[in-house]
Structure 1
Amino acid sequence: MTLAELLQFDAVRDARPEVLAGHRALDRPVRWVHSSEIYEIGPLLSGGELLLTTGLGLAGSDAGARRHYVRDLAERGVSGLAVELGRSFPDVPAELIDEAARHGLPLIVLRAVVPFIRMCEAANTAIVDEAARRLRLGDRVTRALNEALISGAGIAGLLRTAVDVTGAPVVLTTASGALVASYGVADDHAAWATVDAGAADAEVIVHGRVWGRLVAGIGSSLPAEDLAATVERTATALAVEILRTGDPPTERERHAAALLADLVAAGGLAPAEAAVRTGLAGFRPPPGRTLVGVAVDAPETRPAVTLIDQAARLLGTSALRARVRESVLALIVADSVSAVEKAFLDAGHRSGAPQITVVIGYPVPAASTPDWAASLDHARAALALALTGARRGGTRPTVVPARTLALELELRRGGGLDAFVERTIGPLVTWDAQHHTELVRTLELYLRHGASVTRTAAVLHLRRQSLYQRLERIESLLGHAPADPALYPALLAACVVTTPSSS
């Protein structure tokens, strides 16, 4: 309660108050209203009081003592001094007015006699009621924020709680000024408008440093101090949430998570929508390049995201990544699965994170979002299969190309043979059709004869050098060595399905 507000109380107005000095300080808060006639009252006060007096303790003192009296009250931080006329002074001594003006201390003359007890009771009851109301509000805010923390509502839940209490929109930014999250606003433009015209704000302190800033917009029905206190409490709760779960996602990361989730759910996006949403997520794959879908299983999101970013840096490209339900998914710009596999192996060695399992899908054109979704879906399914094998007693894999699980995956999923062949030896089938060659049959016989060049060349009636040339072409088209033991079953099955009459 300010001094100006207190002067409007009926009990005070009946005393016909008039401000003689300190007019600019009437917005001072009044912590208590006290009456005393003791000259040496200053040391007994703690600041924030409105002191009522008839001047009895000053009546027998000289001008210097009276100045000292006012100066002592000002130094104690008293909110104001009210002098009742009639008992000790017919008018307020000039030295009191002058000294109060010097120190900016509100000096009020009471020209009518009103019992001080009446004024004290009215004002102090209101002060206590207001303090109790603020305590109740603070308790309600703290309880609501604690419930949001315990329930795992996250950053969004804490901001929603703040909006419910204050009735004003709230916006969270990083210390560098990047938008993190908002609630109660229609879009990002409205969020920045809220920041610019904020009614209250508080710093979010994490590990002793300013992590970010919470801003409440205009429109709250709470008094300014209550709004500020609520924002301060919410900022503290946000710091606890960040310490518990790590940094919340940035705006781009939220767009990336929504985009990947929609790709998985819808199986692709319209070209125009994809162009806008990839731009919002900061992911712009160059035309003509290929993307590789990746699925990562990790106890925590941040290490998985860090591993993906490290692999992308080693490849010299970019990645779209975010957690989607049970795993972290990514689309990485790359020309071959082998290059992605090597990048993840190198990144894994550098990070030393053995609890992370990465499954790499197959490369797809950058221009086709349905193909993006298919590569992601294949990687997710292969990841589940790899983890199932680990739970059955096998070792937990680290980096696994989905093609090594292609045969078992297709058998379990009941997928079509055409899709299985396309994902396993599709480039060879296409090459044979376009160039009238026999790369598929060559690969089948090579595998059937234990990857022996001599025996395979004899069966095909080729010179060894000619067979070596075919095998180099096969490796170039597939993107991996055809003699990889992990791929034997899938490659041979695909070849058999494609050339059933071969022997």
Structure 2
Amino acid sequence: MLTVRDVLGLDLVASFGPEVVAGAAGLDRPVRWVHVAEALDVGVMLSGGEIVLTTGLLLADDPKAQTAYMEAMHGADVAAVVLGLGRAFATTPPALRRAAEQRGVPLIVLHRPAPFAKFTEEVHARLLNERFAAVDLSDRLRSALAALNLSGASLQRLLDEVAAFAGCPVMLVNLAQRVLASAGDRGALGELMRDWDRVSRQVARLNGNTSVGPDGWIGAPLEARGRQWARLLLFGYRGTEAEGRMIADRAAEALAVHRLVGGGVEFARDGLEGEAAQAMLADLASGSGRPDQLLPRVRALGLPVNRRTLVPLIVRPLTGGGEGLDLLFRRVLAEEGLAGLAGWTGESAIAVLVSLPRDQDAGTAVNRLVLKACEHGPGRGRRFIVGAGSDCVTLDQLPHSFAEAVHVADAALADPPAGPVARLRDVHLRGLVRLLRDEPELQAFIERELGPLFAEQELLDVLRSYLRTGRNKSLAAQEHHFSRPALYRRLHSIESLLDVDLDDWDQLVSLYVALLAYDAQQSSASGGESG
């Protein structure tokens, strides 16, 4: 909306020689309309926010009437009074000016002749244009967000669109003031994250409706089926308060639809936390940001890191897609009173990061967490494999430890540990081979040791069984439904093709390591286990 100051800045109005003679502190009042009136009781016809234009004919030579008139204007909550000099007054009447100053009503005099019709037409045209622009902005934003929802766009894509329309940082926070997602200028977001302790306290004081906080912050509640589950925040919106509220409301509507389509209130809460955790874990595991950049985000998500032991876990489902594993681990973390994040990775696994006090035994706490998750899951027996990385005390140690957890979980798929959690020491040679499986030197070693068998898959399978059974020919023959003579013939063929002696332990160890590495590479390429 236009303000009194904006109206005085219009070229047409400026040509009338306006002068503010009282109430200058109120020049930023919004203007709702312009009203031309000479009646003394005009106040009863007003509803607030008007600029009243008058020549003051009925106020001439009557200081008491002038004071009463300004009291009526104050009572009607007008935006300003504009007095055209020349007909009733040559200069500003002192009583009118004193009354306006005392009541804080802006009083403007026009020193040059001013056709009130042109004044009114100009201001009304600007007001209508502003209102049309606001309606147009609302329609464009609603249409853009609806189109994204219909196309199945992600939450992040929706927030990016809101930030583009608003031109300021945007955040989605849950009821515990944890940042679930954000969009907008990275520098501004970083400043907010670094000061999140203070910012979150101010956010918590915003009331349930769309409201305006300090420094132009605007917050809108996100609700589903009568329950609030998050709040959308615009930080430092530079437009009018009304426009900011409108943008926040349209965005809240679209985000509520986005979450409800995904599964209602429970999904809205748990799904958003999962997305936030997934994004944070991906950045921590990849090392894509500097620790000083990631630290404010981690804290804003509610994960303590100072004087803590951080343990990365990779959880791989043994059967099916493992639906709900991330939610399962988040709930068990909460039940156990442990701080942590859990979210899906891009490798059909979930990543879990547990934050523990330094004086707590990390191994015991993690084992208890995984055992609880096993107890809570449906069905019996082992449903997933958990690989743990090395304990970390700083964020920059996490990428290497997450990579270690991935390799341990991969190795443990083929040979599950007896305990609930596999660690590097549990996977022995198989784990070492998987850690090195992408090294070019290891690939060359595999080719040297096993190359001639790649075209003879049956012989490669026979060698695998022979080594896995500890060179027990009877068991190997049974696995393949061969007679012992048939197995002997195939073993002889292997020796001939590879030019090895299967009774030589050094050569057997080389073949075993090469076969482990080959299987690890095949598993990585296919996303599964070859045995």
Instruction: Name the TM-score class by shorter chain.
Output: 0.5 to 0.7
**1:133-148, aligned counterparts within 5 Å?**
133-148=133-148
Q: Give deviations 1:203-229, integer Å, cap 9, x for gaps.
A: 2424455734523357x6x56654554
The equivalent position to 2:384 in structure 1, one of 360, 370, 373, is: 360
Please list every run of 5 or more consecutive structure 1 residues that lacks an aligned counterpart in the other structure. 263-268, 383-412, 445-503
The equivalent position to 2:326 in structure 1, one of 305, 311, 321, is: 305
Shift of 1:66: 3.2
Give the corresponding residue for 1:41.
42
The equivalent position to 2:350 in structure 1, one of 329, 333, 351, is: 329
**1:104-115, aligned counterparts within 5 Å?**
104-115=104-115
Q: Is the 8 A contact 1:297 1:357 kept in 2?
A: no
Q: Does 1:347 align with 2:380?
A: no
Could you tell me how far apart the structure 1 residues matched to 2:15 and 2:336 are?
82
Give the corresponding residue for 1:27.
28
Could you tell me how far apart the structure 1 residues matched to 2:315 and 2:144 are?
41
**1:45-194, aligned counterparts within 5 Å?**
45-59=46-60, 62-186=62-186, 189-190=190-191, 192=193
Give the corresponding residue for 1:501.
none
Specify the SS of the correspondent of 1:168. coil
Give the corresponding residue for 1:494.
none
Give the corresponding residue for 1:473.
none
Q: Is the 8 A contact 1:297 1:358 kept in 2?
A: no
Q: Does 1:373 align with 2:406?
A: yes
Specify the SS of the correspondent of 2:273. coil
Distance 1:80 1:89, change over 3 A: same
Q: Give deviations 1:295-341, integer Å, cap 9, x for gaps.
A: 2889996x543423456789999987422469663569989xx9999
Q: Is the 8 A contact 1:74 1:103 kept in 2?
A: yes
Specify the SS of the correspondent of 2:217. strand
TM-score normalised to structure 2 length: 0.56
Distance 1:135 1:296, change over 3 A: farther
Q: Give deviations 1:240-297, integer Å, cap 9, x for gaps.
A: 445554132375442335678x8xxxxxx9xxx9xx99x979899989x997843288
User: Match of 1:214, as an amino acid?
Assistant: L
Could you tell me how far apart the structure 2 residues matched to 1:258 and 1:357 are?
33
Specify the SS of the correspondent of 1:66. helix
Shift of 1:106: 0.8
Specify the SS of the correspondent of 1:249. helix
Q: Give deviations 1:67-112, integer Å, cap 9, x for gaps.
A: 2222122111111111222323344433222221221011122232
**1:185-264, aligned counterparts within 5 Å?**
185-186=185-186, 189-190=190-191, 192=193, 200-207=216-223, 209=228, 211-217=230-236, 226-227=243-244, 229-242=246-259, 244=264, 245-247=267-269, 248-249=272-273, 252-256=277-281
User: Match of 2:133, as an amino acid?
Assistant: R
Identity over aligned residues, as a percent? 25
Give the corresponding residue for 1:484.
none
Could you tell me how far apart the structure 2 residues matched to 1:312 and 1:23 are?
59
Specify the SS of the correspondent of 1:18. strand
Could you tell me how far apart the structure 2 residues matched to 1:96 and 1:232 are?
43
Specify the SS of the correspondent of 2:131. helix
Distance 1:154 1:421, change over 3 A: farther
Could you tell me how far apart the structure 2 residues matched to 1:123 and 1:290 are?
63
User: Match of 2:57, as an amino acid?
Assistant: L
Q: Is the 8 A contact 1:203 1:211 kept in 2?
A: no
- Residues 6-15 or 238-247, more deviating: 238-247
- Corresponding residue pairs, total: 379
Higher CA-based Rg = 1
User: Match of 1:346, as an amino acid?
Assistant: E
Specify the SS of the correspondent of 1:152. coil
Give the corresponding residue for 2:316.
294
User: Match of 1:79, as an amino acid?
Assistant: A
Q: Give deviations 1:358-380, integer Å, cap 9, x for gaps.
A: 72237688698677435655899
Q: Is the 8 A contact 2:278 2:345 kept in 1?
A: no
Could you tell me how far apart the structure 2 residues matched to 1:51 and 1:307 are?
65
Could you tell me how far apart the structure 2 residues matched to 1:44 and 1:300 are?
68
Could you tell me how far apart the structure 2 residues matched to 1:72 and 1:172 are?
46
Could you tell me how far apart the structure 1 residues matched to 2:148 and 2:183 are?
15
Specify the SS of the correspondent of 2:317. strand
User: Match of 1:15, as an amino acid?
Assistant: F
Q: Is the 8 A contact 2:67 2:96 kept in 1?
A: yes
Shift of 1:173: 3.8
TM-score normalised to structure 1 length: 0.58
Could you tell me how far apart the structure 2 residues matched to 1:140 and 1:361 are?
48
Could you tell me how far apart the structure 1 residues matched to 2:168 and 2:83 are?
43
- Residues 236-245 or 363-372, more deviating: 363-372
Could you tell me how far apart the structure 1 residues matched to 2:322 and 2:258 are?
15
